Chains A and B, each alone.
Chain A
Amino acid sequence: MLNNAFFHFFTLQLFKERGKHIAVVLLSVVILFLLSSVLFLSSSIRHSLNQTLSVQPDFVVSKTLGGESTTTPLEWSDELVDIYGVSEVSPRVYGRYFAKSKEKFFLIVGVDFLEEQSHQELKKIMETTELKGFLNGDKMLVGEGVKNYLSQNFYEDDYNFLTPKGEFKKVAIFKTLSAKSNFIANDMMIMPIDLARTILGYGEEEVRDITFNVPNPDEWEMVADKVSALHFNLSVTSKKEVEKAYENLYNYKGGFFLILFLVLLTTFVLILYQRYSMVYSSERRNIGLLRALGWGINDVLKLKFLETISVLLISFVLGVVLAYVYVFVFDAPLLSSIFLGAENIERNLGFVPVVDFSVLSSIFLIYAVPFIASVLIPVWRVAVTDPKEAML
């Protein structure tokens, strides 16, 4: 058990040998900061994605041509409505519109505002939009990133699109979407479906794809099969497949960082091990001396364990707090572009603070076990040798 004198001596040692510990703490903080940042970032992105995906329609139907997606006939939506279990069938017209020498693009989304929407986020946007004013003339709703980009290029109230026919089409900005929807709508321009058709060059009976929901999850597979059977060139993508694709993408990136972390951790552990086992002769002498002065092996191990765990806890708290601030206060500069990819239009994306305590405990264990072992095993080896030999 720890008595006062032992605790006093331990704090004394920790404080008086702080120079020795600072290098270890600094290195540990860097490793823990990197690992925690990556995990915070991926947790936050996953959380936002889950939220975004949860409001996506259950299925997307599109036409394929030679294996590639092409424009979809609008009449297919009538066929979908007729399938039992299908609801909220909604044709979509969308596509990239490249602006200014193809440097940036906007995602134009055409919405039939008079139809029921299968996309919950669009539903919300429609509910909060004053439709009478919006549908009166050529108007659009834009994401925050689009608004900022247009403002920088002196388009404050409207934008002139160049249609595929070579004509200009002036569209007024009706409203900017809230920053909360930046994850999905940062580079979006939402406009009436016919206007989108004109700008993107779609025919009247053409859409990009058709979305629909199947309220009963037990019927998903059966409905998907029925829909697939409608046309040989029809492709159905479920929400689950999209989720999986995103999961794989971020797991791959997270895994890449995990490997980097393991390499870093292994190097660090080797350094510590070498320092305590062979190179660090004054440490050997001190352990031998403590033993010569009547300390038992357990006393020495207890002291070194307390020292190690203190260094570890200080490093852990510092690393995790710094990572939290870096990701959730400063929005993870550099690291966010690695995870989110190069940005088309600058995104003012506040990462939602998501701290998974099981992840935190895993970080602690992944780091603590090799760390403690790399110190205590050599210390134990010295402590069990005869004090005279250790003091040599």
Chain B
Amino acid sequence: MIVIENLYKKFGEVTILNNINLHIKQGETVILKGVSGSGKTTLLSIMAGLDKPSSGKILIDAEPISKLPDAFASKLRAKKIGMIFQHFNLFEHLSVEENVMIPLVPSGLKQNVIREKVKNALDLANISHKKSMLASRLSGGEKQRTAIARALVANPNIILCDEPTANLDKENSLMFIEILKELHGQGKTIVVATHDPLFEYLSFENKVIPMVDGAICE
């Protein structure tokens, strides 16, 4: 469960997020919808603990992620949150399998356990056949699926997606939505920040939250 209360984010005089209040239940799919600059990516980053709010409260399964010491916040992020970035953010010099492995490296899990988890994630994202290929040689859709596998490898409850289809063609975008549907079916909490109209009519239950100028429009 994600709880956001009276959340503000300011850069000097500029207010990026203005009094955000949001409760996202376990298993819910939420689409943060808005044009560029509406604050949805910043809100997502704060949810993931990648950025800190100027004020307000954010709880991930009752843990105040932005106020936790680094060691705890990192563990929380590794265990509970899977993040899919707009530009995929893969390590181009590593293979698909090696990229997917990264979130588990500091976990202390044994190598064979990690291998098994990586295999499952690759299968789920339908990218197993490219596991040995360097990330730099993948197509946009394949990069996206690798990023999905990486987000899923630690089996997190929360999946956060920042403009996940911005760099994909329609076919790959629809494929991505199918994967989201499957994750939704598994009971994952999904938050997608997007302005892609494809997300307006999803074939599974979801909540669309429009954002304008850093605020939620009810």
Q: Give me the interface of A with B, judged by CB distance under 8 Å.
A: 3-6, 8-9, 12, 16-17, 285-286, 289-299, 384, 386-389, 391
Contacts and interface: CB of A to CB of B under 8 A. Distances in A.
Contact of A293 (B71, B75, B83, B114): B83
B150 to A, nearest CB: 7
Of A9, A286, A384, the most chain B CB neighbours within 10 A belong to A9
Interface in B81-112: 81, 83, 85, 89, 91, 93-94, 98, 101-111
B105 A295 contact: yes
A375 B24 CA distance: 42
B94 A16 contact: yes
B117 to A, nearest CB: 11
A289 B55 CA distance: 25
B71 A296 contact: yes
A291 B106 contact: no
Contacts of A388: 45, 50-51
- In this complex, the member of B83, B93, B98 whose beta carbon has the largest number of chain A beta carbons within 10 angstroms is B93
22 contacts: A3-B108, A4-B110, A5-B105, A5-B109, A5-B111, A5-B114, A9-B98, A17-B93, A285-B89, A289-B89, A289-B91, A292-B77, A292-B89, A293-B83, A294-B74, A295-B105, A295-B106, A296-B106, A297-B74, A386-B51, A387-B50, A391-B89
B154 interface: yes
Given A12-B98, A294-B154, A299-B74, A386 B50 contact: yes
Contact of B48 (A8, A292, A384): A292
A391 B50 CA distance: 10
A304 to B, nearest CB: 13
Given A5-B107, A286-B91, A289-B91, 13 more contacts: A3-B109, A4-B110, A16-B94, A285-B89, A290-B102, A294-B75, A294-B81, A295-B102, A295-B106, A296-B106, A297-B70, A299-B105, A388-B45
Contact of B93 (A8, A16, A297): A16
> Looking at chain A's contact residues, is the secondary structure mostly helix, strand, loop, or mixed?
helix
B52 interface: yes
B203 to A, nearest CB: 30
A295 B70 CA distance: 9
B106 A6 contact: yes
A285 to B, nearest CB: 8
A6 to B, nearest CB: 6
Contacts of B89: 285, 289, 292, 391
Nearest to B93: A16
A16, A286, A296, A386 — most chain B CB neighbours (10 Å): A296
Contact of A12 (B77, B83, B94, B104): B94
A294 B101 CA distance: 12
B79 interface: yes
